[in-house]
A = this chain, B = another copy of it.
Amino acid sequence: MGKADDNKKHKMENLLNTSFELFTSQGINKTSISDIVNKAGVAKGTFYLYFKDKYDIRNRLISHKSSQLFMQAYNALQETGINDFEGRLIFIMDYVLDELEANKGLLAFIYKDLSWAVFKKALTTPMSSDDVDFGKVYEDMLEESGMKFTNPEVMLFMIIELVGSTGYSSIMYNDPVSLKDLKPHLETSVRSIIKQFTVQ
């Protein structure tokens, strides 16, 4: 039975990986179930054994990939000696932006139809056992900072929306400036936003 379960898990991951490749390379709208199963080498019906529809698989992937991305950033952060809260947030921002610039397919995929609501869910409800709850990580960072904030959730919300939407435009269209040129402005703004929510 271990074998059957392995096989099953293997097939599911196969479908997830294949879908991700297609979604990021040609977009979700232009990807049909047929495309996915053909590339994955399984029958059409098999898809429906594992997923409700295309959007089911998309949501799972967004959660998984976002979580993964943030945890990579967090792990990299641990290996630096950065201790101040502002510096740590900005390190994560930089890391994520660089990662997304290097992988525009991923950016297009997770940004499309992405609302704060979906995002929050993605970050706080780990998909697989390997995923980590970034909500908890954020709470830890807040605590370790020794600082006090009036509304940490809204603070994070504003930072993510600002960084996300401006970063998207810079990375995807180089408009109105490149990511490299945008970053200093973003850093300043993020520090302002943090200050604005800090309780002295």
Residue numbers of A with Cβ under 8 A of B are 115-117, 120, 151, 153-154, 157-158, 161-162, 164-166, 168-169, 172-173, 175-177, 181-182, 185-186, 188-189, 192-193, 196-197
The answer to whether A154 and B173 touch across the interface, beta carbons within 8 angstroms, is no
30 A-B pairs with CB atoms under 8 Å apart are A115-B168, A115-B172, A115-B175, A116-B169, A116-B175, A117-B173, A120-B175, A120-B176, A154-B177, A154-B181, A154-B182, A154-B185, A157-B169, A157-B176, A158-B162, A158-B166, A158-B185, A158-B189, A161-B162, A161-B165, A161-B166, A162-B165, A162-B166, A185-B197, A188-B196, A189-B189, A189-B192, A189-B193, A189-B196, A192-B196
| CA gap between A164 and B188 in the complex, in Å | 19
Using Cβ atoms and an 8 Å threshold, which residues of chain B touch A153?
A: 176
Expressed in whole angstroms, the minimum distance between the Cβ of A120 and any Cβ of chain B is 7
The quantity of this chain's copies bound in the complex is 4
Say whether, besides A161-B165, A162-B158, A162-B162, A116 and B173 are in contact (CB < 8 Å): yes
Using Cβ atoms and an 8 Å threshold, which residues of chain B touch A168?
A: 115
| CA gap between A169 and B196 in the complex, in Å | 20
CB-nearest residue of chain B to A119: B169
CB-nearest residue of chain B to A168: B115
Apart from A161-B165, A189-B192, list 13 A-B contacts with CB within 8 A: A115-B168, A115-B169, A120-B175, A153-B176, A154-B176, A157-B176, A158-B185, A161-B161, A162-B162, A162-B165, A162-B189, A165-B165, A189-B189
